[in-house]
Structure 1
Amino acid sequence: MTAAAPSPVPVDHDTLRAVAAGTFYDPHAVLGPHVGDGAVTVRTLRPLADRVVVTTATGSVDAQHESDGVWVALLPGTVVPDYRLEVTYGGHTTTVDDPYRFLPTVQELDRHLVREGRHEQLWQVLGANVHTYPGQLGEVRGTSFAVWAPNARAVRVVGDFNHWQGATHAMRSLGDSGIWELFVPGVEAGARYKYEILGADGSWRQKADPLAKGTEVPPATASVVVESRFTWSDDAWMTARAERDPHTGPLSVYEVHLGSWRQGLSYRDLAHQLTEYVLETGFTHVELLPVAEHPFGGSWGYQVSSYYAPTSRFGHPDDFRYLVDCLHRAGIGVILDWVPAHFPKDEWALAQFDGTALYEHPDPLLGEQPDWGTYVFNFGRSEVRNFLVANATYWLEEFHVDALRVDAVASMLYLDYSRQPGQWRPNVYGGRENLEAISFLQEANATAYRRAPGIMMIAEESTAWPGVTAPTSANGLGFGLKWNMGWMNDTLRYLQESPINRRYHHHEITFSMVYAYSEHFVLPISHDEVVHGKGSLYGRMPGDHWQKLAGVRALLAYQWTHPGKQLLFMGQEFAQQGEWAESRSLDWFALDDASHRGVQRCLTDLNALYRATPALWQLDETPDGFEWLASDEADLNLLAYVRKGVGTPPAVVVVNFAGVPHEGWRVPLPQGGRWREAFNSDAEIYGGSGVGNLGAVQAEPVTHYARAWSAEVRVPPLGAIVLVADDAPADDA
């Protein structure tokens, strides 16, 4: 009796129709190779094809059209061979590979970690990742697409490789992980793509990839497949970074908006020009306003649509790596602004991603930020936390970024932030604290510090929340540093007063020392202080042109000698007169004026003094590093204090915010000996009047302010002097 010929693995007609429409949740169960009845059934979806041939190393088999563009062929044997498809359309034949013959690229362990919210290298499994596979018919290169969309009925990948028609590239659901996956042979770096998501409401939505590593240049919105080919040259920097504690060293930060520092520059242009400028001016770090892709340039990057993609406005992600690499090779650290608090409502991005509130909290009282018209992340959902925690480590590890400055932390901590009564929902204990966001911040900080030794996590937190920089083991938030918004607000408010009125506001300039050691602080004069009608530092100073520039120099000297790290927004280092606008370059023409060049020279010398004087930073985090010498000279608008290190000469600072000099003012000193005038903001080379102390003063055994030693000094108008002892601290200091 003759054995019956093998038959294709059966599939019911309704399933075939769903597969053909690209709406079936598991197309791999139908398409691709399946062993059964003593043969290998191969099905492929090739609508409008005239002929399909399945070719192996041993021969070819014609496929038969089965239904709705689905073709089927039987290959002999029970082992799935390496095969290709020869597809003919209108007399033209092309050879292609079959996406549905490959096993999932997202492994079970990966899926488990995603479900648990613990996949710390999420970008390696989700998003678009280029893979290479060996095969009997030759090596196969392509891209694995994987996206989390747990409430979708179907997901398809569309792009310029399939004419933006997704039915032939439906993705498979990987069970309760919520992940959809498909490997597409032949798709290489540079391909543009999106996901088509069928929601529970029956509507299709085209979405950019949440884990895209590249994007089109806005306003175009497609994601781009990226494969890094960059070779790093900063090994020395990275080795040293892992071995040092940056929180305890000198830190002076130049805050930069890449698009307006000098307009028209690419990442690679900036790598040379910005590095050279920062090196010349002496900052230890640059801080970049958000680099992650954002649709609206006027948001300065604070409304992010692609958290894993450096903005394409300035080049390829490898070009951004080149920028970081150049800065590192010059000995300059890189801080990146990071925005995990909220995201925009653009319908093609994260908002309502699978037709439901997925990344955002579903409760409008918790999931919307009224100030900015944005959505708030659902910090209590494990997959969302994973998305953000992994994103922090992504920038630190993949781009060698040295620190993340976390934006708008206060908006995350408080459930009633910018909300009126009745517009917010209390936590389970009836309080206003956002317990889920607190837990997320602790996890993000702990993970970042564990995975990337030598980095910093910095909080922009504008309230008196306790323990922002306390370790998570002590129930703190776990940041390394916090922006001192109180110092910034009090100082700028004081300086806006006319010198004659400053005596009535003296407490504003001294109050910062009441809480200076409650956290580990950065003293910021940031972009937010020179925009939206606030004017530049120059514009906020009272008086004529000379007085304004002198006021800026005095402020910088005060900032650089005050306990805490330093941050200055670009343009203020040369006292730009105009308010900053992201739509134009800095006013570099100001440097044609010698007085503005003088401010720049003053800041450069301050950075050099700061780095070379351990007393100005060595004990930043402890009261042992600071002492008032004169804090109550309100009528003189004058401050005097000493900065101290360990086994290093102390530095005495006298700052005069009055418009007149103080001749023969007696400064109390912590020890005897010779005191060198290491800095004078009123030096003629800076555009000052030259009131100074001829290079040094000699301490006298004259008791003043309960100090055994003192000296008469000339204190310049709207100026500051720094006196450094020739000797290390005396035993009786």
Structure 2
Amino acid sequence: MALTQNTPPAPLPISSELLTAIAHGTHHDPHTVLGPHVHPPLKATGPQWATVRVSRPLATSVSLITATDRHTMTHEHEGVWVAVIPAPGGNAPEYQVDTTWGDTTHTSDDGYRFLPTISEFDLHLIGEGRHEQLWTALGANQRNYPTSFGTTTGTAMAVWAPTARAVRVIGDFNGWDGRAHAMRSLGSSGIWELYLPGVGPGAPYKFEIYTADGQWLRKADPLARATEVPPATASIVADDTYTWGDNTWMTRRATRDPHDQPMSIYEVHLGSWRQGLNYRDAAHQLTEYISDMGFTHVEFLPLAEHPFGGSWGYQVTSYYAPTSRFGNPADFKYLVDTLHQAGIGVILDWVPAHFPKDEWALGRFDGTCLYEHPDPHQGEHPDWGTYIFNYGRNEVRNFLVANATYWLEEFHIDALRVDAVASMLYLDYSRVDGQWTPNRHGGRENLDAIAFLQEANATAYRRNPGTMMIAEESTAFPQVTAPTHVGGLGFGFKWNMGWMNDTLRYLHEEPVNRRWHHGMLTHTISYAFSEQFLLPLSHDEVVHGKGSLFTKMPGDDWQRFASVRSLFAWQWAYPGKQLLFMGNEFAQRGEWREGGSLEWGSLNDPAHARVRGLVRDLNTLYQRHRALWDNDHSPEGFRWLEYRDSDHNTVSFTRTSHNGDQVVVIANFAGVPHENYRVPLPHGGTWREELNTDSSVYGGSGVSNTSPIAADNTPWGDGASHSAVIRVPPLGVLYLVPESH
């Protein structure tokens, strides 16, 4: 039969090798074959045509549907189907694909007819390591497009795998057979991309990566925003929809400097605070509890997805996904939202120092050292058996900097506590000679990690006014909380590990021996204003055989309860913000176990309940008296009144606010009371007890000063012009405030 102008020509030819690569999903640019490709015009005035190829492995029949016609496709090779359709004006028409497998027919759009979902500007920013909202370009992002068939909904997939020979997307939507969903390489960027029509929220997926040495790896998405519940390891297309109700909080946050505000933090491991709670349960129960206790902030141990619960979240595999153990991302947003609406700030533990070696996650992601440093002296952690990020690689640094931004912006997190900063700062951290390589200046500092921390902090503060970056840093590295523009690391706070260690070591001594260790209590003030400090009594102090705070204290039960109460009053009064791990607030006897709930039953014992009552009152007094918080980082807010009285195990100091509010603190760590004890006071007039940890209300012995305390003009202590004779309780702390002056 003779061909007419309306007879379709033969499909555009391709080689058998290329066709096989397309069929197997091993070609780096399948869009050059799949999807519509317009023929060169045969005649200036003749009809024009387009060859359309689709990959539908195991299909029994495939048809193309345009606005006006149905075109039966021909099976070409190993699941690749082809048809030639009219292309009026040289433009391929929009179409859908009908695919039949046995008795089942499915109609879908064709992802290979869409332009790349990542812009050239995105690629430029990623290459420069400056894409501050990286999650909007990489990972799984929902994209909708208007078509003649209505709105096409789907998910744009993109992943960085620069040495891969091919990348495919696999999931329930293709029976975990990636041949029909091969991604295209976007040139030298190392980014692979594909739009998947019809794939939406809730769909599990992974990337299948064909390495340079010919192996297929199945990997979770590094930028997945949701995951399956462990031990399952697939990524999940997240639902981006959530309506926030914390506008008042967020507006106020952007206009306030939190570093000069009261901050009393309740540290929580969500899985063991009360076992069995999900994010939404916790939103109500935890918010109610923290509100009642008067804490200003809650700090969660890491909640990014992690495969092993026993790591407490510190071995992260999905940095952009809240753990699915307690619900989906919207549920976690609900938790944050509820806390904010109750006036409670949210701090999240963040772990950019290392990541685990699970073969389905970040490690050797494209068959090479991609996220981890290739030098084992810098790329593997000897203590934790984990990989260390390659902080000097643009894309890796960008991955982490954007991750910090992600939590602050997408989840309204108010602060990130950065874990294990010391391990990042030093090339010789936990290494002996021969196991580390000096930097280019011959020193031990990890210059790339330092630059990364500076960038992460500067970016977080610039983009999100009113947030905080907090360093868990245990060495004397200089200028941790100094601004980056003067060479500092740029953190807002640093955990004061020295204060914590020395205070607990001092209190571990029997009271009769403490006179010989008095310096542990007093010398920490010598560096208290060298950084902006936060005072932690954290989870690390009550695990792994360390015992609880209660059992760290010497003596019988009465002495232990008294010592715990005096420790908390000392912490709340000392310069710096404070953090207390859950269970400590009621002097839990057992050390913390992540596999069980806190010992809530102990609150049936009045002694434990009274300790909790003290913590509640401390939080109330703390926020009432500006002296206890608004001048935390300046020596002008602190003055010793008496620090040499080691024979009585007693010290006293005054805290002063910018507006003149004063609180005098007198701490007696001896096991006996001091009667007729003269204490220095900063000025004359009358004073009263604002707090007494030995009050019978808190389970103490009731040694107190019930009448107003009249200061006389007898100089005493460290140069104080006035003093008074009072009763000082055993293992007790007093707060005195002026009644008149």
| TM superposition score normalised by structure 1 | 0.98
Question: 2:35 maps to which residue?
Answer: 32
Q: Deviations over 1:495-550 (max 9, x none)?
A: 00000000000000101101011000000011000001110000000000010000
**Structure 1 unaligned spans of 5+:** none
* Residues 276-315 of structure 1: pairs in structure 2 closer than 5 A: 276-315=288-327
Displacement after TM superposition at 1:318 (Å)? 0.6
Post-superposition offset of 1:291: 0.4
Q: Distance in 1 between matches of 2:4 and 2:363?
A: 61
| Aligned match for 2:64, one of 54, 57, 65 | 54
| Alignment map for 1:70-109 (pairs within 5 Å) | 70-77=80-87, 78-109=90-121
**Partner of residue 226, structure 2:** 214
Paired position in structure 2 for 1:466: 478
- List runs of 5+ in structure 2 lacking aligned partners: 41-47
Q: Give a deviation string over 1:475-500, Cα, whole Å, max 9, x none.
A: 00000000000000000000000000
Which whole-Å deviations, capped at 9, do the CAs of 1:107-161 have from their partners, x for residues lacking one?
A: 1110111011000000111111111111001111111111000010000000011
> 1:620-631 residue pairs with structure 2 within 5 A?
620-631=632-643
3-state SS, counterpart of residue 413 of structure 2: coil
| CA distance in 1: counterparts of 2:628 and 2:551, whole angstroms | 29
Alignment of 1:161-560 (within 5 A): 161-560=173-572
Decide which moves more: 264-273 or 6-15: 6-15
Cα separation, 2, equivalents of 1:707 and 1:59: 97
Distance 1:93 1:235 in 2: 47
Contact 1:649/1:726, CA 8 A, preserved across alignment: no
Confirm or deny: 8 A CA contact 1:218 1:313 kept in the other structure.
yes
What is the aligned partner in structure 2 of residue 725 from structure 1? 738
Structure 1 residues 18 and 255, CA gap change in structure 2 (3 angstroms): same
Structure 1 residue 5, shift from structure 2 partner:
5.3
Q: Contact 2:86 / 2:92 at 8 angstroms: preserved in 1?
A: no
CA distance in 2, matches of 1:286, 1:71: 57
In the alignment, residue 16 of structure 2 is paired with which amino acid?
H
Q: Tell me what 2:575 maps to.
A: 563
- 2:596 paired residue number: 584
Secondary structure of 2:494's counterpart equals strand
Partner of 2:43: none
Deviations 1:263-315 (A, max 9, x none): 00000010011001101111110000000000000000000000000000000
CA distance in structure 1 between the aligned counterparts of 2:459 and 2:390, rounded to whole angstroms:
19
Q: Do the aligned residues in 2 keep the contact of 1:129 with 1:227 (CA within 8 Å)? A: no
Distance apart, 1:695 and its partner CA: 5.3
- Deviations 1:412-451 (Å, cap 9, x if unpaired)? 0000000011011111111100000000000000000001
Q: For 2:674, which of 644, 662, 666 is the aligned residue?
A: 662
Deviation of the 1:224 alpha carbon: 0.5
* Rounded Cα–Cα distance in structure 2 between residues aligned with 1:478 and 1:641: 30
Query: Does residue 713 in structure 1 map to residue 726 in structure 2?
Result: yes
- Answer yes or no: is the 8 Å Cα contact 1:649–1:725 preserved in 2: no
Which of 10, 14, 28 aligns to 2:13? It is: 10
* Contact 2:65 2:71 (C-alpha < 8 Å) held by counterparts: yes
User: What is the aligned-residue RMSD (CA, Å)?
Assistant: 1.1
SS at 2:727 equivalent: strand
In 2, are the aligned partners of 1:681 and 1:721 still within 8 Å (CA)?
yes
CA distance in 2, matches of 1:531, 1:436: 33
Tell me the CA shift for residue 700 of structure 1.
1.3
User: Match for residue 67 of structure 1?
Assistant: 77
Q: Which amino acid aligns with 1:76?
A: P
Give the Cα–Cα distance (whole angstroms) in 1 for the partners of residues 589 and 308 of structure 2: 26
Q: SS at the partner of 1:343?
A: coil
Secondary structure of the 2:735 match is strand
Q: SS of the residue aligned with 1:384?
A: helix
**Pair 1:678-2:681 in alignment:** no
Take 2:520 and 2:124, find their aligned partners in 1: how far apart are those partners? 54
Q: In the alignment, what sits opposite 1:42?
A: 52
Structure 1 counterpart SS, 2:99: strand
| Residue deviations 1:192-217 (CA, integer Å, cap 9, x gap) | 01010011110000000000000011
Distance 1:634 1:198 in 2: 69
Q: Which amino acid aligns with 2:29?
A: D
Residue 696 of structure 1 and its aligned partner are, at CA, apart by 3.0
The aligned amino acid for 1:380 is G
> Could you tell me how far apart the structure 1 residues matched to 2:173 and 2:735 are?
65
Cα separation, 2, equivalents of 1:502 and 1:621: 28
1:587 Cα deviation after fit: 0.4
Q: Say if 2:559 and 2:731, in contact at 8 Å, map to a contact too.
A: yes
Instruction: Tell me the amino acid that sits aligned with residue 486 of structure 1.
Output: G
1:141 aligns with 2:139: no
1:88 Cα shift?
A: 2.3
Task: Name the stretch that deviates more: 126-135 or 695-704.
Answer: 695-704
Counterpart Cα distance in 2 of 1:307 and 1:586? 28
Contact persistence 1:25–1:171 (CA under 8 A): yes
Amino acid corresponding to residue 485 of structure 1 in structure 2? M
CA drift at 1:647: 2.3
The one-letter amino acid paired with 2:733 is A
Pick closer, same or farther for the CA change 1:685–1:199 going to 2, 3 Å.
Answer: same
Q: Distance in 2 between matches of 1:92 and 1:215?
A: 29
Cα shift at 1:91: 4.5
Q: CA deviation at 1:92?
A: 3.6
1:696 and 1:265 map into 2 onto residues whose CA distance is 48
Instruction: Tell me by how many angstroms 1:648 deviates.
Output: 3.0
| Preserved CA contact (<8 Å) 2:168 2:209 | yes
3-state SS of 1:134 partner: strand
* Structure 1: distance between partners of 2:4 and 2:457: 71
Is the Cα–Cα contact under 8 Å of residues 170 and 182 in structure 1 kept in the other structure? yes
Count matched residues.
728
SS at match of 1:702: coil
Identity %: 64
Deviations 1:456-489 (A, max 9, x none): 0000000000000000011000000000000000
- Shift of residue 48, structure 1, vs aligned partner: 2.4
Distance change (3 Å), C-alpha of 1:460 and 1:88: same
The reply to whether residue 653 of structure 1 matches residue 665 of structure 2 is: yes
Distance in 2, Cα, partners of 1:634 & 1:380: 51
Distance 1:39 1:374 in 2: 56
What's the CA shift for 1:708? Answer: 2.1
Q: In the alignment, residue 136 of structure 2 is paired with which amino acid? A: Q
Question: Is the contact between residue 293 and residue 309 of structure 1 (CA under 8 Å) also seen in structure 2?
Answer: yes
Moved more, 34-43 or 317-326: 34-43
Amino acid at match of 1:60: R
Residue 498 of structure 2 aligns to a residue whose secondary structure is helix
Q: Could you state the TM-score of these two structures normalised by the residue count of structure 2? A: 0.97
